[in-house]
Amino acid sequence: MLVLTAQQMASIAAAAEAAWPGEGCGLLIGKGRRVVTVTQVMNAENLLKSEGNDRFELDPAARFAAERAVRGTDRRVIGHWHSHPDGSAKPSATDMAQAWEPDMIWLIVGTAAHGEGHPQTVQMLAHRLERDTGRVFPIRMELAEKRACQGARFPT
Ligand SMILES: [Zn+2]
């Protein structure tokens, strides 16, 4: 499970919409294993934004900065987010080919614009990708605020 605050989701959505019609991307820092909680969202430069709108490559400098920031803490780089300007939030063949790190969480943001309207985030899904087999494992997402409302008396 991936736990994010409403504000983290809103900031990812805003960055994805700002990048439209290109792909936006960024890193997710967090902690936990079975329940992974996002502690920080870092937006990053998409190095491939001039090469069409179906691919992204995180600026390695952003990854290095993130790894430096978590060194010696209980936090780690848990994954990254990127947007699909066609509104889909499923991993593309390009994504699967880039899934070198099996522990990374892939948060994909589907952003689309209709007519003259501003681009809007229409869905957000989290996955783990198994490059060797081509399998996609969905990760359930939950709002931190909702989780906080569930008392300890109601374990799930
Ligand atoms: Zn993608």
For the chain, the structural domain boundaries read: 2-148
Whether residue 55 is predicted with pLDDT greater than 60 in this model: the reply is yes
Query: 37: part of which helix (H) or strand (E)?
Result: strand 36-44
C-alpha of residue 98 to centroid of ligand 1, in Å: 9
C-alpha of residue 13 to centroid of ligand 1, in Å: 15
Q: Which of 3-17, 44-58, 75-89, 109-123 has the least mean pLDDT?
A: 44-58
The confidence band for 153, taking pLDDT boundaries of 50, 70 and 90, is low
Q: Which residue type, as a one-letter code, is found at position 94?
A: T
Whether residue 61 is predicted with pLDDT greater than 60 in this model: the reply is yes
User: How many Cα neighbours within 13 Å face the side chain of 47?
Assistant: 7
Query: 65: part of which helix (H) or strand (E)?
Result: helix 60-70
Return the structure tokens found at 111: 């952003």
CATH classification number, 2-148, choose in 3.40.50.970, 3.30.360.10, 3.70.10.10, 3.40.140.10: 3.40.140.10
> What pLDDT, in 10s, does the model give residues 97-139?
999 998 999 999 999 998 777 899 999 999 999 999 999 999 9
What are the residues facing 127 on neighbouring strands?
106, 138
**3-state SS assignment for residue 156:** coil
Stretch 67-91: mean pLDDT: 95
Residue 116 pLDDT: 77
Return the structure tokens found at 117: 């309207």
C-alpha of residue 122 to centroid of ligand 1, in Å: 15
Residue 154 pLDDT: 58
Average pLDDT, the chain: 90
- For the entire predicted model, the pTM comes to 0.90
